[in-house]
Amino acid sequence: MRDLKSLKERKECMLFQTSEKDSRNGWIGGNAPAYFDELEGMVNKDMQRYFYCSIVNPFDETEMISIFAPKDFEDRISKNRYPNCSLLTMKHPKTEESKLGTFADPDLVKHYISEANILSDKASFEERFLIKFGGTPRHIQGEKYYYTELHDDGFDFLFQVDEDGYPDTLIKPRKSYPFAFGAIYLYAQMLEDSIENPIKSYWQYS
């Protein structure tokens, strides 16, 4: 268990890559966590969604944070920023991968998330990564309207998932990157000893 103080100070961050080895840190692609087996109606309440990825909370190993993306790319790109982002982002109890393919994206090949590499936030801007947890976001587009309202509403940067960190084996042949070679940015409310829901998000593309 890590101290949340490091997340709030933002001098250091954790970088995660994909891995063939299960480090118990979550996965991208494949089936959703079993927690969602009975929640299809909630996930697909306003539109059909695919599971994208789940990461175990580095500050509480009993929790996971999962991301679901709309099946229709037009639903993704037409609502790609707060407060109307169409991604479903949720903190929930840690569970194993479901045996049900209810939310599986047929274009993605499941990969595990690696152990974390901890380094200074400044150094992270020279590195490729799948996930950057903590520190400051590395944006593709610099417009402040992506995050100004989030800050105003009491949310701070939590982590990003960057398609620049995909291995060649993650996308099936002749299939497109789900976020147009982009990145997802998740924000949360930080309390003294916990990361709180709701977790909000936006995404950018190249």
Q: Tens digit of pLDDT for each residue in 38-97?
A: 999 999 999 999 999 999 999 999 999 999 999 999 999 999 999 999 999 999 999 999
Q: Identity (one letter) of the amino acid at 146?
A: Y
What pLDDT sits at residue 4? 75
Residue 127 corresponds to which tokens in the numbers above? 């590195």
| pLDDT beyond 60 at 141 | yes
What pLDDT sits at residue 7? 78
What pLDDT sits at residue 37? 98
What pLDDT sits at residue 190? 86
Q: Phi-psi category of 174—alpha, beta or left, where left has phi over 0 and alpha has psi -120 to 50?
A: left
Residue 89 corresponds to which tokens in the numbers above? 């982002």
Distances (CA, A) of 31 to 1, 20, 37, 81: 26, 16, 10, 25
* Structural contact between residues 21 and 112, judged by C-beta atoms closer than 8 angstroms: yes
Least confident of 1-5, 96-100, 109-113, 156-160: 1-5
Band of pLDDT at residue 176, cut at 50, 70 and 90: very high
SS3 labels along 108-174? ECCEEECCCEEEEHHHHCCCCCCEEEECCCCCCCCCHHHCHHHHHCCCEEEEEEEHHHCCCCCECCC
What pLDDT sits at residue 2? 63
Q: Please, what is the average pLDDT of the chain?
A: 95
What pLDDT sits at residue 164? 97
What pLDDT sits at residue 5? 74
Distances (CA, A) of 128 to 124, 131, 166: 8, 9, 9
| pLDDT beyond 70 at 1 | no
Read off the DSSP letter of residue 193: S
Least confident of 3-17, 33-47, 70-84, 110-124: 3-17
